[in-house]
């Protein structure tokens, strides 16, 4: 522990290059990396608040949460505020604009908050593992601090004239930053094994060039949509309702409903004062909604039936929503049955089927595509054109599951050749579709696949050519994969702390309460 009244740094012995004073092991016991799962790296925008009051308009110190009991506040001189300054400067140097002040402020403070969480998490992990920094090492760093330098040498006079509180704060910063560096250096020293790189090169060796045809689910016949919608007409009946939502309890909602029925408070005022939803400002009025839209929010289906039975001006009982709140409704008009001659209703019915009844559409499209799968290879293109389907080509591409890439110099660089979805948007989800990749890389050249569900299409694929990747592509994979590995490792380590149960994240509540102007 640093002395409460720091003495001048002791004369320095020759440096050993080890902040902890301990021999380096092969791996520190506080670092654990599980299996690195190949995922697309998420880019997190670094965002800052414009310069000015870092503690709010009234100089208030905001508490954004805590990590393992250590609070993350906007106190002047604290780690969070230092990160605000650092990230803010970095963004301005990149030419980012502060014109949208609120968005810029959110970006700045959120990134500073996440950096602080990582810093606190690292310190907690290192200290839990018994990591420490020697006082002699801190003395050395203090002696090198520019605050105590005069003519290139340590000045005892400047040191004595510096307030003790400042010196203690500086020692604490040196200790924390050195401990964090121990952790970060271990992470940065990690590298993929030769076996891992060899596995990826094996993935990249084989390539495929394909021809394919895509039957969109949107081709599902209008007559079939109309037939299905007529059989499920209740879903598309119109309910014109107003609602009051109460988050606290069923008892509170029932008490409020009783007051509304007694006329001591109007329905509109009850909605405006109690509801926390998009309808509050309109006095609870929801406008015309389909039965299925109301059904998506109410816990019990029979309760939706009771709403559909309300006459204009009638009130429902208190109902429970799927989100756990309590609501009661007022019918603004009688429910009206679905008009199956209305093209808008049919359009909405198709959208409903695409979202909730995809299996019906996929089965229909797959059945249509079966004829292509049964076609001899030589006649594949002719059969597709006869069915009114365009034949497209793609490739060569390797078994690049997920289109993995990494960021360098502000650009994304692919590790392997990607499936070109610019010319063939039907293949946009192909790199993450196991059925598609398994079919393409298991078929012999000339073979035609079974129908494959791919996004909003059913595709049938003919393998035109089985090739091999160039030595240049394989060599670039060996060169680039360690960069991907390092970026992915750093991202995963950050995620560990941001997802930790030790973190109490109150950032959103505090930011929108104090930084956003009241509407």
Q: Are 272 and 280 in contact (CB under 8 A)?
A: yes
Instruction: Tell me the pLDDT of the chain averaged across its residues.
Output: 83
Q: Specify whether 376 is located in the same domain as 451.
A: yes
Task: Give whichever of 44-48, 288-292, 474-478 has the largest mean pLDDT.
Answer: 288-292
Q: For the beta carbon of residue 45, count every other beta carbon within 10 angstroms.
A: 11
Is residue 382 assigned to a domain?
Answer: yes
- Identify the residue with better confidence: 517 or 83: 83
Is residue 432 assigned to a domain?
Answer: yes
pLDDT-derived band at 20, boundaries 50, 70, 90: very low
pLDDT at 486: 83
The two structure tokens encoding residue 51: 């310069």
From the list 412, 275, 253, the residue with the least C-alpha distance to 320 is 253
pLDDT at 9: 58
Say yes or no to pLDDT of 430 above 50: yes
Three-state DSSP class for 187? helix
Q: Specify whether 362 is located in the same domain as 460.
A: yes
Alpha-carbon span 399 to 410, nearest angstrom: 26
pLDDT at 101: 62
Burial environment of residue 326 by CB neighbours within 10 A (0 to 12, 13 to 18, 19 or more): buried
Say yes or no to pLDDT of 256 above 80: yes
pLDDT at 39: 22
Write the Ramachandran bin of 69: left for phi over 0, alpha for psi from -120 to 50, otherwise beta: left
Q: What is the CA radius of gyration of the chain?
A: 32
Q: Specify whether 215 is located in the same domain as 361.
A: yes
Percent of the chain scoring above 70 in pLDDT? 86
The pTM (predicted TM-score) of the whole model is 0.63
Classify residue 324 by its DSSP letter: S
Say yes or no to pLDDT of 2 above 50: no
pLDDT-derived band at 304, boundaries 50, 70, 90: very high
Phi, then psi, of 37 in degrees rounded to 5: -85, 130
For 71-108, what is each residue's pLDDT tens digit? 999 888 889 999 998 888 877 776 665 555 667 788 88
Q: Are 451 and 373 in contact (CB under 8 A)?
A: yes
Is residue 16 assigned to a domain?
Answer: no
- Identify the residue with better confidence: 2 or 160: 160
N- to C-terminal Cα distance for the chain? 50
The two structure tokens encoding residue 72: 């993350």
Helix, strand, coil percentages in the chain from 3-state DSSP, rounded to 5 = 45, 15, 35
Lowest mean pLDDT among 31-45, 192-206, 304-318, 356-370: 31-45
Alpha-carbon span 194 to 199, nearest angstrom: 9
- The H or E element that residue 199 is part of is helix 194-205
CATH number at 420 reads 3.10.50
The two structure tokens encoding residue 34: 């599980």
pLDDT at 323: 84
pLDDT at 206: 92
CATH number at 311 reads 3.10.50.40
Alpha-carbon span 404 to 43, nearest angstrom: 13
pLDDT at 64: 94
Query: Strands (DSSP E) along 217-275, which ranges?
Result: 238-246
Say yes or no to pLDDT of 220 above 90: yes
Q: Are 477 and 96 in contact (CB under 8 A)?
A: no
Q: Specify whether 212 is located in the same domain as 254.
A: no
Say yes or no to pLDDT of 19 above 60: no
pLDDT-derived band at 147, boundaries 50, 70, 90: confident
The β-bridge partners of 320 are 326
Q: Specify whether 210 is located in the same domain as 254.
A: no
pLDDT at 96: 63
pLDDT at 98: 56
Q: For the beta carbon of residue 511, count every other beta carbon within 10 angstroms.
A: 19
Last residue of a domain, one of 429, 445, 469: 469
Say yes or no to pLDDT of 278 above 50: yes
pLDDT at 128: 87
For 440-494, what is each residue's pLDDT tens digit? 999 999 999 999 999 999 999 999 999 998 888 888 888 888 888 888 888 888 8
Percent of the chain scoring above 90 in pLDDT? 44
Q: Specify whether 458 is located in the same domain as 369.
A: yes
pLDDT at 191: 85
pLDDT at 22: 43
**Is the omega angle on the peptide bond into residue 458 within 30 degrees of 0, that is, cis?**
no
Say yes or no to pLDDT of 510 above 60: yes
Last residue of a domain, one of 469, 486, 505: 469
pLDDT-derived band at 365, boundaries 50, 70, 90: very high
pLDDT-derived band at 211, boundaries 50, 70, 90: very high
Residue 232: which residues within 8 A CB-CB, separation 6 or more?
none
Is residue 211 assigned to a domain?
Answer: yes
pLDDT at 59: 55
Q: Specify whether 281 is located in the same domain as 367.
A: no
Whole domain around residue 370: which residue ranges? 204-219+357-469
Q: Specify whether 394 is located in the same domain as 449.
A: yes
pLDDT-derived band at 203, boundaries 50, 70, 90: confident
Is residue 209 assigned to a domain?
Answer: yes
Q: Specify whether 368 is located in the same domain as 446.
A: yes
pLDDT at 381: 93
Q: Specify whether 253 is located in the same domain as 310.
A: yes
The two structure tokens encoding residue 228: 């299905």
- The H or E element that residue 204 is part of is helix 194-205
Max CA pair span of the chain:
93
pLDDT at 7: 60
For 48-61, what is each residue's pLDDT tens digit? 333 334 444 445 68
pLDDT-derived band at 30, boundaries 50, 70, 90: very low
Alpha-carbon span 287 to 278, nearest angstrom: 12
Last residue of a domain, one of 297, 331, 365: 331
Is residue 366 assigned to a domain?
Answer: yes
Alpha-carbon span 54 to 84, nearest angstrom: 8
Phi, then psi, of 454 in degrees rounded to 5: -140, 100
Is residue 395 assigned to a domain?
Answer: yes
How many helices and strands in the chain, by DSSP H and E? Answer: 17, 15
Give the count of alpha carbons within 13 A of 487, CB side only.
20
Number of separate domains in the chain: 2
For 243-255, what is each residue's pLDDT tens digit? 999 888 899 999 9
Say yes or no to pLDDT of 29 above 80: no
Is residue 261 assigned to a domain?
Answer: yes
- What are the DSSP calls for 65-128, one per residue? EEETTEEEE--TTSHHHHHHHHHHHHHHHTT---SSHHHHHHHHHHHHHHHHHHHHHHHHHHHH
- Identify the residue with better confidence: 381 or 31: 381
Length of the chain as a residue count:
519
Q: How far is CA 490 from CA 41, 170, 205, 244, 324, in A?
A: 10, 27, 28, 47, 38
Q: Specify whether 371 is located in the same domain as 451.
A: yes
The two structure tokens encoding residue 261: 């029925």
């Amino acid at each position: 522990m640093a002395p409460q009244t720091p003495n001048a740094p002791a004369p320095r012995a020759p440096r050993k290059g080890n902040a902890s004073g301990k021999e380096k092991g092969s791996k520190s016991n506080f670092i654990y990396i599980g299996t690195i799962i190949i995922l697309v790296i998420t880019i997190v925008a670094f965002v800052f608040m414009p310069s000015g009051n870092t503690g709010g308009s009234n100089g208030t110190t905001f508490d954004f949460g805590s990590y393992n009991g250590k609070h993350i506040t906007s106190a002047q001189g604290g780690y969070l505020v230092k990160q605000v300054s650092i990230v803010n400067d970095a963004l301005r140097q990149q030419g980012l604009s502060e014109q949208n002040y609120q968005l810029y402020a959110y970006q700045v403070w959120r990134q500073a908050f996440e950096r602080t969480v990582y810093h606190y998490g690292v310190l907690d992990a290192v200290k839990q593992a018994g990591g420490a920094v020697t006082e002699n090492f801190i003395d050395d760093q203090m002696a090198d601090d520019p605050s105590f330098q005069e003519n290139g040498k340590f000045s005892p006079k400047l040191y004595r004239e510096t307030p003790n509180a400042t010196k203690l704060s500086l020692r604490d910063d040196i200790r924390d930053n050195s401990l964090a560096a121990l952790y970060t250096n271990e992470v940065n020293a990690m590298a993929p094994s030769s076996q891992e790189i060899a596995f990826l090169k094996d993935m990249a060796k084989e390539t495929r060039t394909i021809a394919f045809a895509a039957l969109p689910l949107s081709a599902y016949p209008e007559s079939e949509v109309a037939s299905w919608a007529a059989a499920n007409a209740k879903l598309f009946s119109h309910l014109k309702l107003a609602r009051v939502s109460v988050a606290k309890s069923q008892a509170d909602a029932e008490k409020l409903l009783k007051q509304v029925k007694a006329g001591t408070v109007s329905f509109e005022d009850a909605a405006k004062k109690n509801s926390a939803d998009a309808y509050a400002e309109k006095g609870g009025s929801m406008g015309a909604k389909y039965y299925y839209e109301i059904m998506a929010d109410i816990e019990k289906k029979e309760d939706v039936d009771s709403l559909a039975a309300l006459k204009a001006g009638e009130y429902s009982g208190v109902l429970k929503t799927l989100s756990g709140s309590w609501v009661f409704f007022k019918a603004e008009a009688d429910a009206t049955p679905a008009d199956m001659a209305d093209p808008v209703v049919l359009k909405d019915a198709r959208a409903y089927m695409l979202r909730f009844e995809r299996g019906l559409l996929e089965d229909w499209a797959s059945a249509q595509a079966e004829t292509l799968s049964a076609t001899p290879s030589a006649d594949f293109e002719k059969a597709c054109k006869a069915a009114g389907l365009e034949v497209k080509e793609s490739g060569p591409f390797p078994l690049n599951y997920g289109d993995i890439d990494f960021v360098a110099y502000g650009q994304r660089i692919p590790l392997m050749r990607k499936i070109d979805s610019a010319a063939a948007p039907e293949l946009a989800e192909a790199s993450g579709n196991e059925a598609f990749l398994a079919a393409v890389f298991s078929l012999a050249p000339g073979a035609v696949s079974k129908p494959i569900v791919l996004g909003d299409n059913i595709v049938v694929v003919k393998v035109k050519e089985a090739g091999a990747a160039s030595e240049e592509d394989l060599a670039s994979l060996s060169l680039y994969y360690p960069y991907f590995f390092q970026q992915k490792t750093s991202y995963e380590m950050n995620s560990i702390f941001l997802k930790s149960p030790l973190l109490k994240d109150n950032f959103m509540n505090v930011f929108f309460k104090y930084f956003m102007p009241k509407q």
